[in-house]
A and B are shown apart, each in its own frame.
Chain A
Amino acid sequence: MNSEIPRKWVWIGGLLLLALLLMLPFLVKNYRVFQFNLVIVYAIAILGLNILTGFNGQISLGHGAFYAFGAYAAAILMDILSVPYWATLPSAFAFCFVFGFVVGFPALRLAGHYLALATFALALAVPQLLKYKKIEALTGGAQGIVLIKPEPPFSFHFLDQPLSADRWLYFFSLAVAALMFLLAWNLLRGRVGRALIAVRDHPIAATAMGINLPVFKSMAFGVSAGITGLAGALSAIVVGFVSPDSFTVNLSIFLLVGAVVGGLASIPGAIFGGIFIQFVPNIADEISKSAPAAIYGLFLIAFMYLLPLGVMGGVKALWARLRSLAAG
């Protein structure tokens, strides 16, 4: 859709955005930086969910489970095996990829509601599984695991602000997110992406066109779980703490809310989703304790009516309208 804007402006716009993103952590307080880190983490997790639910049409109400397992994988690797923090991310991805692939296999037999139900059950069971007594030595039981936030490898001051641990993690997360979004974009824009969408829209026709349904569906599950698991691992590093009660069924629901609000089957939509689920509850919390959930619920239903393709769908529609107006 950028084809009609001169290439020069795209470059200038991109560079300005990059400069802004790089300066952002030095313009705000440390706590805000921490919140931005979480936005990035959620955006990656929503990207993962979106590959499965948005692009491939397999409804998951249990992606919080993969997020939780990724977080625990990272925490255990760092806590017990003293693996450096950056090395836990690929391990979490691999671990959750396998786990997702295994979950995706029975999911082949479950369509629509039933898959939603099975994954919902998974999400509900996760905190209990993590608290299980027999694996307490590993997971720390109900107490969870406390981690030390990694120190920045070098130090400098910019705009009178030091490069704190949170600011360093901001750049680290940003790089990881850029890599993930690039990977997802590369994966989805070509043959694989079209195949996933074909499977979503018309499985029988897709099979007739020579798409191997089981392979694509379980691979989508694996990749999606892997990316969300990696986001979970990143969250463990960024927050410096994992406990079973941070991964309740609400987390899975929030990820779904983020995916819907940002835009199902939209890659940049995941960023809006991340911003939404990080900041809207903060604002809504000031109204009342129950307000965030109510607002989430209203947003879900309102979006299904008004903007079924989410913020990104709305932006695209607006853009198309503006362009046709400009073209006269």
Chain B
Amino acid sequence: MEALLFQIFSGLANGIIYGSVALALVMIYQATHHINFAQGEMATFSTFIAWALIHEAGWSYWVAFFFTVAVSFTGGLLVQRIVLRPMEKAPVLTNVIVFIGLLLIFNALSGMLFDHTIKAFESPFPKESALATRFFAAHQIGSAGVLMVMLFALFAFFKYTSVGLAMRAAAQNPDSAKLVGIRVSWMLGLGWGLAAAIGAVAGMMVAPIVFLDPNMMAGILLYGFAGALLGGIDNPLGAVIGGLVVGVLENLLGAYVIGTELKLTVALVLIVGTLTLRPNGLFGKKVVTRV
């Protein structure tokens, strides 16, 4: 029982990370209806920026944290404005190829600028804490808190601000949104900025656990995808829940059923299974398109 509980809780801890990545994916999907394959590498690159600020420039953690989030937001916005704007009307294949191009470039940039050695990245949360229990380390509680704050902020942003409303409108019905004066193209850019910022936070929360190197996010991105799809790709809360479910499933299956070697296959089966059996995920809305 003790062991089972331990597995579940450590699964939840991983799930928090997957949930944050899934959240970033959902953000881009909501704003642009695209799945960004470069999300993981962009997050890794952001984390490297934070690392350089802390270790090479000597900034304190939280200053570096917020600065990195701001830089990532701007970076995401710029990537959309410069690279993707001409592709807004292009077919899916073109977009996917450009995303793969971005993935390769960001991965190479991380390697070139910060080299391939594995780096330790500190956690902002104290090692010993009254809140930490047998099952949860302080870092995991802290990152769960950060994820919660992010989720609420996003919820409030989309629900109560006019920009959030405009973004939703631009994604749902770009033509009508344009007619009521929303600058649809900029809304897409904003979506990319937000997703990059969320990705940066996720990266900085992951790095203390898995260590920092250019390929840090490859596996995590896949679990993020699985979580986002499981929860419904258009539902932020669903993405977080999906991420948690994936984390727990991964750990339980790994510990009791198939062993740790096939963990990525679990994600594969989850993705293909969700897409074929319940394409809208557990909490997603059914989308009907007109011919």
Interface residues of A (CB under 8 A from B): 53, 57, 59, 61, 106, 109-114, 116-118, 120-122, 124-125, 128-129, 131-133, 204, 249, 253, 256-257, 260, 264, 288-294, 296-301, 304-305, 308
Residues of A within 8 A of B109 (CB): 290, 294
Complex: how many Å from CA A59 to CA B219? Answer: 21
Interface residue count for B (Cβ, 8 Å)?
Answer: 46
- When distances are taken between beta carbons in the complex, the residues of chain B under 8 Å from A118 are 268, 271-272, 275
Residue in B86, B116, B265 whose beta carbon sits within 8 Å of that of A305 in the complex:
B86
In the bound complex, do residue B108 and residue A297 qualify as a contact, i.e. CB atoms below 8 Å apart?
A: yes
| CB-based contact B218/A124 at 8 Å | yes
Q: Which residues of A contact B90 (CB under 8 A)?
A: 304
Contact B97 A121 (CB under 8 A): no
Is B145 engaged at the interface, CB distance under 8 Å to the other chain? no
**Is B264 touching A106 in the complex (CB atoms < 8 A)?**
no
Asked if B108 and A290 sit within 8 Å, CB to CB, the answer is yes
Q: Which of A61, A114, A128, A257 contacts B261 (CB 8 A)?
A: A128
Q: Does B100 contact A (CB under 8 A)?
A: yes
Question: Would you call the interface of chain B mostly helix, strand, loop, or mixed?
Answer: helix
- Chain A residues with CB under 8 Å of B264's CB are 121, 124-125, 128
Q: Decide if B5 is an interface residue (CB 8 Å cutoff).
A: no
A113 near B268: Cβ-Cβ < 8 Å:
no
Q: Which of A121, A256, A304, A308 contacts B272 (CB 8 A)?
A: A121
Q: Does B267 contact A (CB under 8 A)?
A: yes
A-B interface contact total, Cβ < 8 Å: 138
| Cross-chain contact of B92 among A112, A204, A264, A305 (Cβ < 8 A) | A112
Beta-carbon contact of A128 and B265 below 8 Å: yes
Residues of B within 8 A of A109 (CB): 275-276, 279
Chain A contacts for B107, CB-based, 8 A: 290, 293
The answer to whether B222 has its CB under 8 Å from any CB of chain A is yes
Taking a contact as CB atoms under 8 Å apart, the answer to whether A121 and B271 are in contact is: yes
Contact of A256 among B100, B112, B265, B279 (CB under 8 A): B100
Q: Are B101 and A300 in contact (CB under 8 A)?
A: yes
A-B pairs, top 5 by smallest CB distance, nearest first, are A297-B104, A300-B101, A294-B108, A297-B105, A290-B111
User: Is there an interface contact between B96 and A59, defined as CB atoms closer than 8 Å?
Assistant: yes
B34 at the interface (CB under 8 A from A): yes
Interface residues of B in 59-104 (CB under 8 A from A): 83, 86-87, 90, 92-94, 96-98, 100-104
Listed by A's residue number, 13 A-B pairs whose Cβ atoms lie within 8 Å are: A61-B96, A109-B279, A113-B34, A113-B92, A116-B96, A118-B272, A118-B275, A256-B100, A289-B116, A296-B104, A300-B101, A301-B101, A304-B97
